[in-house]
Amino acid sequence: MNRVVIITGASSGIGAATARALAEGYRLALVGRSKERLGEVVQQVVAAGGQAHGIVADLSDAGVPIRVVDQVVERFGGIDAVVNNAGIFETGAIGSVTPDHLDRLWRTNVQAPVLLTQAALPHLRGRRGGCIVNISSHAARAAFSGNGIYAATKAALEAWSRCLREELRGTNVRVGVVSPGATDTPCWGERRPDPARMCRA
């Protein structure tokens, strides 16, 4: 296929698993904050016969998404799909929520995918069939104590995805949302639930 796909949050978890799944037949631009882990995923893709370029970046900085898109276009000549997977999972009861907590989750879980998609759209429109996939969470529609802010950001991502789908109706760009349940990824840290009840990234 040789199509170009940007995958954010690609250094671990769902993003890394997506990169490995697309290793054959796609040219991958893998974005993540950890240089070491991102390099390992790039090597895994190359070892599987694919093409991958790692971009170390923190997408929560408002100026970064457009620079990432420019770098991908310069490297690969265009963009066919964007997988907005990068996200922060943090819990906290209402009494412990701070402005920094709110800002951190909003900028990574909502602002970053919106701005990256905005920057990529002109290139997606110019391809034979562009695709945007936003990785949400079951938490967007479920209630878990202490999970209010994270759940709210994922609900916002899904609401924006629905509106974006309407804006792009009739164009060659499709919008999809994937909402996994609890998944065995490093984001859990010490809070990791029973692995037998988790999806595997």
Of the candidates 26, 76, 89, 150, the residue annotated as catalytic is 150
Q: How far is CA 109 from CA 14, 59, 124, in A?
A: 15, 10, 21
Residue type, 52: A
- Edge-to-edge strand ranges of the sheet holding 81-84: 51-56, 26-32, 3-8, 81-84, 130-135, 173-178
- Distance separating alpha carbons of residues 69 and 56, to the nearest angstrom: 13
- Distance separating alpha carbons of residues 137 and 86, to the nearest angstrom: 12
Asked about 150 being catalytic, the answer comes back as: yes
Catalytic residues: 150
